[in-house]
Amino acid sequence: MWDSGATVGTVIAGTSDVFRSIATTLKYANSFTFDSNKNLYVADSNNFRIQKYFTCSGVITTNSSTSG
């Protein structure tokens, strides 16, 4: 997340460690949106799922998943 005018940010989706294989690792996150509570939804295309990031708590859930 980046605040206006900030020079540093905070990773709230995914990880910078591309070699780990964990439930929160994103593979081709191609779009995102926020809901009215400022929670972040990420379309994780190569994992066939939508990840929800609760911005107030840091909890991550998988909202949908399918193998094709």
Mean pLDDT for 6-13 is 65
Give the pLDDT confidence score for residue 36 in this predicted structure.
93
**Contact criterion met (CB below 8 Å) for 40 and 34:** yes
- Domain segments of the chain: what residues? 1-68
The CB density around residue 35, as the number of other CB atoms within 10 Å, is 10
| pLDDT at site 35 | 92
**50 or 7: which carries more pLDDT confidence?**
50
Question: Does 1-68 carry CATH code 2.40.128?
Answer: no
Residues 12-54 pLDDT 10s? 555 555 555 577 777 888 898 999 998 889 888 888 888 888 8
Nearest by Cα to 42 from 55, 19, 26 = 26
Considering only CA atoms, which of 45, 48, 42 is closest in space to residue 65?
A: 48
C-alpha distances in angstroms, 17 versus 2, 20, 27, 48? 20, 6, 12, 20
Q: What is the mean pLDDT of residues 58-64?
A: 76
Tokens at 24, concatenated? 């929160």
pLDDT of amino acid 44: 86
